[in-house]
Structure 1
Amino acid sequence: MVVIGRVLRAVVAACAVAAFAGCSSDDTPEPDGTTISVDTVRNALLKAADVGPTWKTPAESAAPGRLVSICGADTAPAAVPGNPQLVSAPLSDEGTEGVQSLTQIGLVYEDTVSAATALAALRTVADACPPSVSQPAKTGDREEPAYTETARTAPLEEGGWIGFVTTRNKQYDKEHAATADVAVAAVARGNVVLVDQYAIYRLGKSDASANPQFSADWQKLVGTTLNRIGGQ
């Protein structure tokens, strides 16, 4: 079981973290002659019991057939490149001091070329995201304090999977001490692109290192899923 640390329940429904994905021609995976089936990807996606005892499938989640936002802030979810078969599995862990979420999306293409092209398209979007965005406070149904969000994208390689990860840190204004960290990993192998988004929102924190385990946690989640696909 992959156990990700408990984050206590919070009043954060309107402060949900944003996410993203992307890739470039430098990250294009080499063909490995492997065709991965939709059932293999579906079975490999983590279930709540695989992550930890406080995790569950949320009652409400993003509409099926959509990716996550690449640039965060107010940007819309990225369009699904090409015409893959899509499987997804959202999970969440809510507590009194924060929320964690995991969105897993498998894009299963007919061939390796289509998957590599899709990964490159996503990376192009990620590369166009600004490194820092400041947003004023929102009111209404999506109330949220003002914040500044920074982002960086780096190559990612894991067990024959090649792509990138975009990590983001959101700092809210001083009157609303809170931080949000988000990682979206987009990697391809053979005919599959996997997009994994891990996000954590913490109340009562106002420094960039509020969650020192963030990097280890997203890497553990992504790595576990990739190993499960590779082990089918």
Structure 2
Amino acid sequence: MKNKIAFITGASSGIGRASALALAGAGYDIIACGRREERLLALKKDLPQNVGYTHLIFDVRNRDEVRTAFESLDEKWKQIDLLINNAGNAHGLSPIQEGDMDDWDAMIDINVKGLLYVSKQIMPGMIERKSGQIINIGSIAGKEVYPNGNVYCASKHAIDALTKGMRIDLNPYGVKVMGIHPGLVETEFSVVRFKGDEKRANSVYQGFHPLQAEDIADIIVFAATRPAHVVMADIVVLPIAQANSTILHKQL
């Protein structure tokens, strides 16, 4: 029996990379997607030898790139069983009246439209086969709004709404849909948000034990390996030091 196939966006680092490793360990063949080919080539070297692997280079916000990349796959790779919509970003942390419109565009284009563009390519196959699973990586920012989070929180609220909408619309076809909404995870997230300011980014995770990318990957594997009749629909996961989006107990 052939391995199931997982399609993972944002697989070059963080949660995406950890998910590729964990799912490969669970016997999935991997389609890793991202913009940094050297990292995707390095990922292949870390995967078990008994799983299949291919990678696609595209920017999720460019729908033509997404479509062309998907169409370039051999037919055997298009039978995707699991889609992990992980690619996302945060840019800036300022009051909305001081926000940078380029930052707004990046967050909405990648977090919301990118998820839609990728899903649009993969959902028809799942519908035709009447099976499959979609896991959207959201954020605690999709459940609450925090000061200066404005547009980022809005984009993650949109992911939460889209996840619920997908679950309703795909329900007649036996396609599982799940949202995972992490709190503070130690990845490149803050480096991107603070535009390469590593000192400021590192300070976000000091004084407590944040979640690791592997923690989210563990949840993904657990959800993907439940019996066919079981759907883990929605989960918020936080480090023990975090009570919600604004309350964090740091031991300085």
Asked if Structure 1 and Structure 2 have the same fold, meaning a TM-score greater than 0.5 normalized by the shorter chain, the answer is no
Relative to total residues, which structure has the larger strand share, 1 or 2?
1
TM range (shorter): 0.3 to 0.5
Question: With structure 2 as the length reference, what TM-score do the two structures score?
Answer: 0.32
RCO higher in structure (CA 8 A, sep ≥6): 1
